């Protein structure tokens, strides 16, 4: 407890697309009986801005697009005194949501540079889940009922999008495993084994 506010224990999970990172995170939250935040952050961030949920969804986990602007801070007599991209506005709002959630409750937070945003939070651990490309392609094939060719295209596209987003907003390398507290290859564990591993990490916080 700090100043009347509960300081939550948090596990953040970065993940390569198709590595089962979201499934692991979701099951972990259920086992621990704590909050799970992924796309829920989009809705909460939209509430904190003048952006629609659809706009936040479009900008979510995407680096700034110089052609996609939100005009803000109109000052009478001076006109528009600041201009920022929708992506930047969404990232700023999502960052505020993540920090607030991390103070209010124990939880699992997926993606959205949460490891960087909460890098100074001592009662948090930052995990990165990866897997060989073929494993991820097969996972997406089964999960989304896609051909191998289409699944491979989606995996590469989503990895590129997440890498560009993370690198742009953090000035870090998304694939540099040294910056995380733990990183592991999901292909060598079952989902339950991965959950058991991370539950132990959480309980030692």
When mean pLDDT is compared across 88-92, 159-163, 179-183, 192-196, the lowest value belongs to 88-92
- Is the pLDDT higher at 10 or at 54? 10
Which of 69, 73, 75, 66 minimizes the C-alpha distance to 55?
69
DSSP symbol at 60: T
Q: How far apart are CA 8 and CA 66, in angstroms?
A: 36
Domain ranges of the chain: 10-41+91-204
Task: Select the more confidently predicted residue: 175 or 57.
Answer: 175
Model confidence over 53-65: pLDDT tens digits?
887 777 776 665 5
- Contacts (Cβ under 8 Å, ≥6 apart) of 79: none
- Is a pLDDT exceeding 70 seen at residue 97? yes
| pLDDT at position 79 | 46
Residue tagged 């995380």 (tokens)? 180
What is the reported pLDDT for 197?
97
What fold is seen in the domain 10-41+91-204?
Answer: Rossmann fold (3.40.50)
What's the rounded Cα separation, in Å, for the pair 36 and 22? 10
């Amino acid at each position: 407890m700090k100043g009347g506010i509960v300081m939550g224990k948090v596990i953040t999970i970065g993940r390569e697309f198709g590595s089962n990172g979201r499934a692991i995170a979701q099951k972990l939250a259920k086992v621990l009986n704590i909050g799970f935040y992924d796309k829920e952050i989009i809705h909460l961030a939209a509430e904190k801005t003048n952006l629609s949920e659809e706009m936040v969804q479009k900008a979510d986990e995407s680096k700034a697009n110089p052609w996609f602007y939100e005009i803000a801070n109109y000052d009478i007599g001076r006109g528009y005194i600041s201009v920022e991209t929708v992506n930047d506005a969404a990232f700023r709002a999502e960052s505020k949501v993540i920090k607030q959630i991390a103070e209010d409750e124990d939880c699992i937070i997926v993606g959205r540079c949460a490891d960087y945003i909460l890098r100074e939070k001592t009662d948090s651990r930052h995990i990165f889940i990866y897997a060989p490309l073929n494993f991820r392609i097969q996972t997406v094939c089964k999960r989304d009922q896609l051909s191998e060719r289409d699944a491979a295209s989606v995996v590469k596209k989503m990895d590129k999008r997440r890498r560009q987003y993370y690198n742009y907003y953090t000035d870090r390398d998304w694939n540099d495993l040294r910056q995380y507290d733990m990183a592991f290859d999901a292909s060598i564990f079952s989902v339950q084994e991965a959950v058991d591993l991370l539950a132990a990490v959480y309980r030692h916080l």
